[in-house]
Amino acid sequence: MTIRANWNYPTAVRFGAGRIKELAEACKSSGIARPLFVTDPGLVNLPMTKEAIQQLKDAGLAVTVFSDVKGNPVESNVYAGIDQLRVGKCDGVVAFGGGSALDVGKVIAFMAGQTRPMWDFEDVGDWWTRADPNGIAPIVAVSTTAGTGSEVGRAGVITHEATHTKKVIFHPKMMPKVTILDPELTVGLPPKITAWTGMDALAHCIEAYCAPGFHPMADGIAVEGIRLVKEFLPKAVKTGDDIEARGAMLTAASMGATAFQKGLGGIHALSHPVGALYDTHHGLTNAVFMPYVLNFNRPAIEERIARLAAYLGLDRSFDSFVGWILDLRAEIGIPHTLAGLNVDDSRLDEIVAMAIVDPTAGGNPVPLDETAAKAIFRSAL
């Protein structure tokens, strides 16, 4: 069955095959007449991207295209995009792509009217209140992968080039005005990228569910997101043109990003420095760390994971859930250890030092101190 639906949670989402045809109208309804179209070098020349840009032009919108975005975005990408926004006299951003393009597009829109340096708005305490909310340009987001869920998020992850540290730039008004989730745009994703981004969505849901604190709505969203991954990620990897599977994974990705307002944890805290130092794919790195962090956190999450396993139709136990994770990784080609990412222990101390101060570390169910981070890393090695 082909599903088309609109929902508002937390942003206005237009879901369904063919919804990309509504991009120009979504821009106009968001008050955007001169969009900066932010994408990445791998997407900018693809037919679906050219068609989206042409649609905007045919609707009378003055489009400026920016695609200088790295797989792990860096601050210079953001500032180059701001320069293009100003040259084009753009009044909003269309962020089109995977997590990298979406994050950069959102941060460009956020920084467009700010006078302070970008790092003054890192997700620390109430630093977001330093921003001028009137200087934030409107955003329309179009996701072409099913992983980060950045299309419904209020933050962007950018690497500080001088320190090789990934930092989260946050503001509530960084949320896109409209998000388009069109599974037809993800049909061309190669199996590997489908697998890696899908595991990113799974990591978001699992860590949100396991994070301490009381947020039953986030928990419920995370649990259903995990079920969607279990049922549909193998299908999306195996049969790339399965529109139902592609749509389910887009939904799961958005659910993960919605749920992780509750928190993330050790998977991301370790993955961020490894990605920054070794330039590994974020979702793939999360996938490698996943079972090792789960096992480390077992004393604090065993009963919670057992309930989750039962919902997924597995034996009601922690071991059955981790066993499913291991089987899924093997089925879709995820390396079992960090060696599969060409990561060794030569920078262990540096990674650990970065991990324990990462903004996501505080959400780990077991305190992630230096000893803990080293133990997990060595297990994953």
pTM of the model: 0.93
pLDDT band of 251, cuts 50, 70, 90? very high
- Do residues 171 and 196 share a domain? no
Q: What's the order of all strands across the beta sheet hosting 35-38?
A: 5-8, 12-15, 178-181, 139-143, 92-97, 35-38, 64-66
- Do residues 34 and 132 share a domain? yes
% the chain with pLDDT above 70: 99
- Do residues 41 and 55 share a domain? yes
Q: Across all residues in the chain, what is the average pLDDT?
A: 96
Q: How far is CA 161 from CA 119, 241, 307, 358, in A?
A: 12, 38, 42, 16
- Do residues 31 and 124 share a domain? yes
Q: What is the pLDDT of residues 271-320, one digit of tens each?
A: 999 999 999 999 999 999 999 999 999 999 999 999 999 999 999 999 99
The pLDDT of residue 8: 81
User: CB within 8 A of 151, min separation 6: which ones?
Assistant: 11, 95, 102, 141, 142, 143, 176, 179, 181, 254, 257
Q: Which H or E run contains 236?
A: helix 216-238
Q: Is the pLDDT of residue 203 over 80?
A: yes
8 Å CB contact between 149 and 201:
yes
* CA-atom Rg of the chain in angstroms: 20
- Do residues 179 and 239 share a domain? no
Torsion angle (degrees, nearest 10) of CA 315, 317, 319, 324: 40
Q: Domain end: 153, 168, 185, which one?
A: 185
Give the domain CATH number at 84.
3.40.50.1970
Q: Which domain holds residue 349?
A: 188-380
- Partnered with residue 15 across adjacent β-strands are 5, 181
- Do residues 208 and 97 share a domain? no
Task: Supply 28's token pair.
Answer: 């106009």
Task: Please provide the DSSP assignment of 59-125 as one string.
Answer: TT---EEE----SS-BHHHHHHHHHHHHHTT--EEEEEESHHHHHHHHHHHHHTT--S-GGGGBSST
- Do residues 168 and 192 share a domain? no
pLDDT band of 126, cuts 50, 70, 90? very high
pLDDT band of 72, cuts 50, 70, 90? confident
Rounded to the nearest angstrom, the gap between the alpha carbon of residue 140 and the centroid of all alpha carbons in its chain is 16
Q: How many domains does the chain have?
A: 2
Q: What is the pLDDT of residues 129-166, one digit of tens each?
A: 999 999 999 999 999 999 889 999 999 999 998 888 88
- Do residues 247 and 368 share a domain? yes
- Do residues 178 and 315 share a domain? no
Helix (H, G, I), strand (E, B) or coil at 155: strand
pLDDT band of 9, cuts 50, 70, 90? confident
Q: Domain end: 185, 206, 240, which one?
A: 185
pLDDT band of 1, cuts 50, 70, 90? very low
